[in-house]
Amino acid sequence: MFAESGSGREAFPELARVLVVDDDPASRITLQTVLTAGGYHVDGAATAAEAVCKMQDHEYELVLSDLQMESPEAGLRVIAHAHLMNYQPATALVTASWQKDSQQEHQSASGRFLVATEDIPELLTRVAHLISERATRIVEQELRYICRNN
């Protein structure tokens, strides 16, 4: 969980790795910049196919995908593929805007709320929460496995 710096004297925590998938370059780069400034290691993908390749090459704690990219269901394909990965990343769909008072209408297929990119503090809070939920889920699974095998 901790990596050594170049000097070998100090240790710093590894950053959570996030994959941002959006075919709109301005949206993708903006979201990558915000998340990087928030302390995350962020990769970007412009298509569902590129996202799938990146998920095969790297383990992500969180995959954020736009819903409609090269096809209307491309974002859902990205999320579905993420759910098939052994490392079980947290997932959410991103949207440019939404009404906070209608959160019930904005759930993704996996039951996750869409993450709005217009409110940066809320965005960072939701990202941290999704990553935290994933970590908790993995620890619980490992504890169940240990209990069953002891």
Cα Rg, the chain, nearest whole Å: 16
In this prediction the pTM is 0.78
Query: Taking 60 as the threshold, does the pLDDT of residue 136 lie above it?
Result: yes
Q: Which amino acid is at 8?
A: G
Give the whole-angstrom CA distance, residue 144 versus residue 150: 10
What is the SS3 assignment for 96-121?
CCCCHHHHHHHECCCCCECEECCCHH
Give the whole-angstrom CA distance, residue 49 versus residue 77: 9
Give the whole-angstrom CA distance, residue 61 versus residue 109: 19
93: left (phi over 0), alpha (psi -120 to 50) or beta: beta
* pLDDT score of 60: 97
* pLDDT score of 45: 98
* pLDDT score of 144: 86
Q: What are the pLDDT digits (tens) for 25-54?
A: 999 999 999 999 999 999 999 999 999 999
Domain spans of the chain, in order of start: 2-148
Name the CATH superfamily for 2-148.
Answer: Response regulator (3.40.50.2300)
Cβ neighbours around 122 below 10 Å, total: 13
Name the pairing type of β-strands 17-21 and 41-45. parallel
Is 81:73 a contact under the CB 8 Å cutoff?
no
